[in-house]
Amino acid sequence: MNGERQTMNYDDTNIFAKILRGELPSHRVYEDEAVIAFMDVMPQGTGHTLVVPKAGSRNLLDADPATLGPLFAAVRKIAQAVKKAFAADGVVVMQFNEPASGQTVFHLHVHVIPRFDGVPLKPHTGAMEKPEVLAANADKIRQALAG
**Residues lying near ligand AMP in the complex (CB under 6 A):** 15, 26, 40-42, 50, 96, 102-105, 125
Shortest distance, position 24 Cβ to ligand AMP, whole Å: 6
Return d(Cα 145, Cα 39) in angstroms, integer.
Answer: 14
Is there a contact between 14 and 109 (Cβ–Cβ < 8 Å)? no
Shortest distance, position 27 Cβ to ligand AMP, whole Å: 8
Is there a contact between 78 and 30 (Cβ–Cβ < 8 Å)? yes
Tell me whether residue 30 or residue 96 sits nearer to ligand AMP (CB atom): 96
Tell me whether residue 62 or residue 147 sits nearer to ligand AMP (CB atom): 62
Q: Is 124 a catalytic residue?
A: no
Shortest distance, position 50 Cβ to ligand AMP, whole Å: 6
Residue 133 vs residues 45, 60, 113: alpha-carbon distances, Å: 12, 30, 15
Tell me whether residue 50 or residue 71 sits nearer to ligand AMP (CB atom): 50
Strand segments (E) across 48-141:
49-53, 90-94, 110-115
Which of 27, 48, 107, 109 is catalytic? The answer is 109
CB nearest ligand AMP: which residue? 42
Tell me whether residue 20 or residue 50 sits nearer to ligand AMP (CB atom): 50
Shortest distance, position 120 Cβ to ligand AMP, whole Å: 16
Of 105, 42, 52, 48, give the one whose Cα is nearest residue 74: 52
- Reported as type and span, the H/E element at residue 4 is helix 2-7
| Residues marked as catalytic | 109
